[in-house]
Structure 1
Amino acid sequence: MSLVIWAEGRLVGAGEAAMSAVDHGITVGDGVFETCTVLDGRAFALTRHLARLARSAAGLGLEAPDEQKVRDGVAAVLQEAVRSGGAFDGRLRITVTAGVGPLGSHRVEGAQTVVVAAQESVMAPESRSVRSPWPRNERSAIAGLKTTSYAENVVALAHAKAQGADETILPNTVGDLCEGTGSNVFVERDGELVTPLLDSGALAGITRQLLLEWGAETGLPVREARVGELPFAVLDEADSGDVQLVLTSSGRNVQPVTWLDGTEVAVGEVSAEARVLFEKLCRERIDP
């Protein structure tokens, strides 16, 4: 798969040094990032992703990223990707770190580091998921922020992959359904799709929000849960076939879960409609 990387104003090779060894993003994970879907060489929902990038930076206490600098990096990467490979579908990652800093957690204010990378990829039509043995801390200082401090997700996802899955679904600390390591989750029950409230600790996913908006626009029954409506135990109902599950993210769009902890799960009718709706509108509305 082709990989194009832009770091601080220049294109670099995958094996080429592009950041300081004492960049705070490397030493302590002090940074934020966004991942966009790329459709025919264009970044989907880029404006929304850049707005969330700024919100995450503010949540970490970082200065707002230089949006024009980020957009320049995105343009350079996508131009090179199309030039070298023609039609380009995949994903694009924008990373902004606190820049060069001390070896400890203390931050020195200064220039940030911006890296943009794009790689060809193909979305799987469905997911094989497992329940996570670890909860998401909805009271964490970084709850709801998309930061480069991703070790918890790496461990949880490795645990899932060891069981033949591609995602793991997490509860929060009070036993409510929360999210996946890199996705939001929707539960189909009684003819509607319902997703946990952001108060659960879940990330405010771009795909999640668009599905809620486009569902309301087209009459598809999609909504946020009421308080206490989605305990983590709702996943037990998937085993019996009483509910179905969907994951949403920039790497998945709207993706039904067809296997949960070794048990086949049917695709719900509303879930299937939601997937078709999103696939259609995301290509018609490249920057909604």
Structure 2
Amino acid sequence: MSVVIWADGRLHAPTDRILTGVDHGVTVGDGVFETCAVYGGRAFALTRHLRRLARSATGLGLPVPDEDAVREAVAAVLAAAPDAGRLRLTYTGGPGPLGSHRDEPDAQRPTLVALAGPATRAATSRVVRVPWVRNERSAVAGLKTTSYAENVVALAEAHRRGADEAVLANTVGLLCEGTGSNVVVERDGELVTPPLSSGCLAGITRELLLEWAGEAGLPVREAVDGELRYEILDEVLAGRAHLTLTGSIRNVSPVVALDERDVTAGPLSLAAADLFQARALDDLDP
């Protein structure tokens, strides 16, 4: 299927020219976004995604988007693309100066674009380590911004090595996240995910897994600060631990290859994947 786009109050074709060349999201990456899975014409966990969109906008210094307007855009693109598997919302600073500074607040005209299109979810993932790091002290740490060049470079390296995701440390050598996913380590009979203080994104799938696994009696928790060193991935290669990714399209996806070597998916990781898929289909806006 093709991508359906909503912008400026109406639907557009993928070839339509929508953004001005001076949109701050284009010139300096001054924007935020959300990606949701779509099941049966409905965006999964939309309320949580819109809440995070507002948090990211506030953290970046943008006005909070009008939730009613965003929901209208979502309804329009999903109605036009009933078989879509993915929803993407992009919210930028709108037309602005060519430099990094913004117009005064009363002169800002933010841009909202909604897209619906296809998505393919793989049950398992293949990852590699890369030499670049996340800066947990960055001004935009934990915000889902459109400044994604670091992720593009790291993911290209993963694809070059036959993987579908790259996993990064932060500046102090702690396991952080993937380019578009959170990470979960299975060892010693529990699932442990890096804390938000590591600089990782507060993923919606991560958030729901912590909630749902806890309710189901599956042992899952956030790591204490400093607990998950990047070298924990050596234990995954040695078979003493297992790795899983979480993300809005992946859901919960056990890792079956690390650094171009096959590894096994852990039993708790597989149970978490089954639990998440069942709960997601049971409640589309938890």
What's the TM-score once normalised by structure 2's chain length?
Answer: 0.98
Is 1:74 the equivalent of 2:74? yes
Moved segments of 4+, more than 6 Å: none
CA shift, 1:2, in A, is 2.5
Q: How does 1:1-288 map to 2 (within 5 A)?
A: 1-82=1-82, 88-108=83-103, 109=105, 110-288=108-286
**Which segments of 5 or more consecutive residues in structure 2 lack a partner in the other structure?**
none
CA–CA distance in 2 between the matches of 1:232 and 1:128?
Answer: 17
CA RMSD of aligned residues (A): 0.7
CA–CA distance in 2 between the matches of 1:79 and 1:122?
Answer: 20
CA–CA distance in 2 between the matches of 1:132 and 1:202?
Answer: 16
8 Å CA contact 1:89, 1:122 repeated in 2? no
Count residues in correspondence. Answer: 283
What's the TM-score once normalised by structure 1's chain length?
Answer: 0.97
CA–CA distance in 1 between the matches of 2:77 and 2:193?
Answer: 34
Greater alpha carbon shift after TM alignment, 89-98 vs 233-242: 89-98
CA–CA distance in 1 between the matches of 2:84 and 2:96?
Answer: 36
- Paired amino acid for 2:100: S
CA–CA distance in 1 between the matches of 2:145 and 2:180?
Answer: 12
Greater alpha carbon shift after TM alignment, 223-232 vs 169-178: 223-232
Q: Percent identity?
A: 63
SS in 2 for 1:194: strand
The alpha-carbon distance between structure 1 residues 89 and 118, as it changes in their structure 2 partners (threshold 3 A), is closer
Task: Give the match for residue 85 of structure 1.
Answer: none
Q: Deviations over 1:47-94 (max 9, x none)?
A: 000000000001011110111111110000000002xxxxx2511000
CA–CA distance in 1 between the matches of 2:196 and 2:84?
Answer: 30
CA shift, 1:236, in A, is 0.3
**Which segments of 5 or more consecutive residues in structure 1 lack a partner in the other structure?**
83-87
- Paired amino acid for 2:285: D
SS in 2 for 1:245: strand
CA–CA distance in 1 between the matches of 2:126 and 2:164?
Answer: 6
